[in-house]
């Protein structure tokens, strides 16, 4: 069988998934290392595929969305050496939706993938929240055009900033607080980060809906979405594989045009 390997490279972590047609067979995450070699990537990827019951020889294509441009060349080398295929890199101009953003090429590849998958899932208008190193919000208007969004610090970045820029605040594990009013320094930090992020997201979603003139559904993705969405008031659904699905759809669109 022919399998597609999709890879979403973020600043902190990388999310990869294997598709058979439109079905996600498996997915896994690992830390993003900006200076990793192509050989290390190849050994890591083949090892993770094996652990997840996937025969690497069945991978017939690899599609990449990355916000770490220096890694593109190394992924291309990895694909050639370890999978015998050319790397497909997601680009805005082949996403199949109009992009009203200046310049279109400056939109992060993961944001484009999210927009494509969200439109296919619920139509337009739609708002997407991606909880990553940065928390991004993206919007498709009622015409189905990508019109932009907002970028703010992610929960882990906020937590790291508090620890590195203050003398007495401790580093705490990021987990959902049981209440809004923290009864200890650790609880107060967790509440500030988690409930604070939920407040930012809810405020932005409400503003976006007002500007759109529509009660657009809001999809959430990213590794921290399951923890944060329960304290948000405006998110309709969590779709953890949204970005990978979008990468697959853009690859299929590009492959279809190339035939």
Annotated active-site residue 110? The verdict is yes
Tokens found for residue 157: 């970045």
Q: How far apart are CA 130 and CA 222, in angstroms?
A: 5
From 9-13, 57-61, 121-125, the region with the lowest mean pLDDT: 9-13
Domain boundaries, the chain: 3-89, 97-240
Return all residues near 248 (Cβ < 8 A) that are at least 6 apart: 4, 6, 19, 22, 63
Convert the pLDDT of each residue in 171-181 to its tens digit. 777 778 888 89
Q: What is the pLDDT of residue 132?
A: 86
| Per CATH, domain 3-89 is 3.30.420.40 | yes
Q: How many Cβ atoms sit within 10 Å of the Cβ of residue 1?
A: 8
Which residue of the set 8, 50, 100, 110 is catalytic?
A: 110
**Quick one: pLDDT band at residue 163, thresholds 50, 70, 90?**
low
**Residue 14's closest CA among 72, 59, 81?**
72
The answer to whether domain 3-89 and domain 97-240 are alike in fold is yes
Residue 256 CA to chain centroid, in angstroms? 24
Q: What is the pLDDT of residue 256?
A: 58
Average pLDDT over residues 77-92: 95
**pTM of the entire predicted model:** 0.92
The contacts found for 169-174 with CB under 8 angstroms, 24 or more apart, are: 174/224, 174/227
Q: How far apart are CA 173 and CA 93, in angstroms?
A: 40
Tokens found for residue 97: 């939706």
Q: How far apart are CA 259 and CA 247, in angstroms?
A: 19
Convert the pLDDT of each residue in 190-216 to its tens digit. 888 889 999 999 999 999 999 999 999
Superfamily of the domain at 97-240: ATPase, nucleotide binding domain (3.30.420.40)
Helices 71-78, 38-51: crossing angle, 10 deg rounding: 60
**Residue 127's closest CA among 205, 200, 202?**
205
């Amino acid at each position: 069988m022919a399998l597609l390997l999709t890879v979403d490279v973020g600043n902190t972590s990388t999310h990869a998934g294997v598709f058979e047609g439109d079905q996600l067979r498996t997915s896994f995450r690992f830390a993003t290392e900006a200076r990793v070699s192509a050989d290390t990537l190849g050994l890591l990827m083949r090892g993770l595929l094996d652990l997840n019951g996937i025969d690497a020889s069945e991978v017939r294509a690899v599609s990449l969305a990355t916000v770490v441009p220096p890694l593109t060349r190394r992924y291309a080398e990895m694909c050639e050496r370890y999978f015998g295929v050319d790397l497909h890199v997601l680009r805005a101009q082949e996403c199949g939706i109009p992009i009203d953003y200046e310049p279109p090429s400056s939109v992060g590849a993961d944001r484009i993938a999210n927009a494509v998958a969200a439109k296919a899932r619920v139509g337009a208008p739609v708002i997407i929240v991606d909880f990553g190193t940065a928390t991004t919000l993206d919007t498709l208007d009622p015409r189905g055009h990508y019109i932009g969004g907002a970028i703010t610090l992610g929960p882990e970045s906020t937590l790291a900033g508090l620890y590195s820029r203050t003398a007495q605040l401790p580093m705490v594990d990021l987990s959902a607080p049981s209440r809004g009013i923290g009864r200890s320094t650790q609880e107060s930090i967790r509440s500030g980060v988690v409930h604070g992020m939920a407040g930012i997201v809810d405020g932005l979603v409400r503003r976006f809906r007002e500007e759109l003139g529509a009660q657009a559904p809001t999809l959430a993705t990213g590794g921290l979405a399951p923890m944060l969405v329960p304290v948000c008031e405006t998110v309709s659904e969590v779709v953890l594989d949204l970005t990978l699905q979008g990468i697959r759809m853009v690859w299929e669109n590009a492959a279809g045009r190339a035939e």
